[in-house]
Amino acid sequence: MKNLVVKPSTVEKLKQFHPWIYKDEIKKIPKGVVKGDLIKVISPKGEFLGIGYINPDSVITVRILTFDNEEINKKFFFNRIQKAFNYRQEIFDKITDAYRIVHSEGDFLSGLIVDKYADYLSIQFNTAGINNFRKEIIESLIEIFNPKGIYEKVDEKIIKIEGLEENKEQTIYGEVPDEIIITENSLKFIASIKQGQKTGLFLDQRKNRKIVSSYVKNGFKVLDLFSNSGGFGIYALKEGAKFANFVDISQVAVSQIDKNCKLNGFKNYNIVKADAFDYLNNLDKKFNLIIIDPPAFAKTKKEKTGAIKGFQFLVINSIKALEENGYIALFSCSHHITEEDLKKILLFASQKTGKKLIILEKLMQDLDHPYLLNAPPTFYLKGFLIKVV
């Protein structure tokens, strides 16, 4: 394993367990290393700082796997995965049989995502470095979970950057059905690992579905914008909503919402396959609760201004579509949109609509997507539940 020396200014960050080293934080990339190679990171004084893997073509050039001087082998991955699983079992086994087991750097396994859907696992190898340990990781998963099947998901954009074009979406162990029924807070949902966005369901919103729906009163009219498989609206129906209107642009999502509502015995819903922006523009109904949970509008810093404009439109028009004393749950899953940005968007909308806004809840991703203080980008999902008065 070759040594990589970082600049003096990067040493402290690594001693605070930050798992990423950017290209301009490196003194010199050792000769002969290729994408995915393990490297030992040392300070200019020769102090050991960690072991990670390198991608010389990526802005995030090194991702640290361990801050200890240990071997990176099957035992290493087995122990990390087992630890991550133990922490989830304590929290989630009473609530659901679907949760994220490994959340990349949030679980000190940069580049690896593993989700559990009842007896099945879905997995993503998002970096060349982690892909080099596929065998060790898959063997560990089989030993720990004894799953009925494991399905590999692939993010096309990511694998291009990492040179992993050979990775294909496929069943890599056992058998995986097209649809898996999971239970979450005694509601049933269909997870289609093979078809769904992300790896099937938006597991990170689980806690927020519960919190937001706890404000629903009998007879509430609910609008679930960007609803995906309908989680927020379905929770609201369980709490006595009069009806839920779901809006999503994706055909897969729309048909999943219908199946999920039927699976839980709800009849009082309406599904619209549409662009949420167009839908709001032409809206003539009023609601008591509107959920705004768009996809990541700002994937890069450059896209931030446009994203903020989009949010402003959504919030202003949602406020206008509320009954008196209505509620809005607003989310952003983009790292580049901060909590402060969301507050500014809400203030702007308050001014434009002449309505005052009370923050009832500050919301974030659920605990199976750990927010590791040492790695700021692991805090990505933020939101507010507000009351409009």
Ligand X SMILES: C[S@@+](CC[C@H](N)C(=O)[O-])C[C@H]1O[C@@H](n2cnc3c(N)ncnc32)[C@H](O)[C@@H]1O
Of residues 202 and 311, the one with the C-beta less far from ligand X:
202
Q: Which of 66, 132, 185, 250 binds ligand X (CB under 6 A)?
A: 250
Q: Which CA distances in Å does 106 have to 58, 234, 336?
A: 20, 29, 18
Of residues 110 and 227, the one with the C-beta less far from ligand X:
227
Say how far apart CA 342 and CA 16 lie, in whole Å: 28
Of residues 10 and 227, the one with the C-beta less far from ligand X:
227
Of residues 167 and 256, the one with the C-beta less far from ligand X:
256
Residues with Cβ within 8 Å of 265's Cβ and at least 6 positions away in sequence, in order, are none
Residues numbered 267-326 forming contacts with ligand X, rule: CB under 6 A: 275-277, 293-295
Residue showing tokens 């990339």: 29
Contact 328, 319 (CB under 8 A): yes
| 3-state class (DSSP) for residue 184 | strand
Site track 40-59 with ligand X (rule: CB under 6 A), x = hit:
--------------------
Q: Which of 38, 95, 142, 249 binds ligand X (CB under 6 A)?
A: 249
Residues numbered 138-197 forming contacts with ligand X, rule: CB under 6 A: 197
Binding residues for ligand X, total number by CB under 6 A: 21
DSSP-assigned letter for residue 297: S
Q: Which of 61, 126, 213, 227 binds ligand X (CB under 6 A)?
A: 227
The region of 20-28, 77-85, 100-108, 242-250 touching ligand X under the rule CB under 6 A is 242-250
Residues with Cβ within 8 Å of 67's Cβ and at least 6 positions away in sequence, in order, are 14, 17, 49, 50
- Is 199 a residue that touches ligand X (CB under 6 A)? no
Backbone angles phi, psi at 143, to 5 degrees: -65, -40
Residues with Cβ within 8 Å of 174's Cβ and at least 6 positions away in sequence, in order, are 147, 148, 149, 150
The DSSP element (H or E) to which 290 belongs, if any, is strand 287-292
- Is 253 a residue that touches ligand X (CB under 6 A)? yes
Say how far apart CA 342 and CA 207 lie, in whole Å: 19
Site track 73-102 with ligand X (rule: CB under 6 A), x = hit:
------------------------------
Q: Which of 115, 162, 184, 248 binds ligand X (CB under 6 A)?
A: 248
Q: Which CA distances in Å does 120 have to 101, 141, 239?
A: 12, 11, 30
CB 43, min distance to ligand X, A: 40
Say how far apart CA 177 and CA 327 lie, in whole Å: 38
CB 149, min distance to ligand X, A: 23
Backbone angles phi, psi at 355, to 5 degrees: -115, 145
CB 233, min distance to ligand X, A: 9
CB 204, min distance to ligand X, A: 8
Could you tell me the two tokens for 248? 């999503």
Contact 107, 80 (CB under 8 A): yes
Residues numbered 119-148 forming contacts with ligand X, rule: CB under 6 A: none
Q: Which of 41, 62, 314, 333 binds ligand X (CB under 6 A)?
A: 333
CB 309, min distance to ligand X, A: 14
Residues found near ligand X in the complex (CB under 6 A): 197, 202, 205, 226-229, 231-232, 247-250, 253, 275-277, 293-295, 333
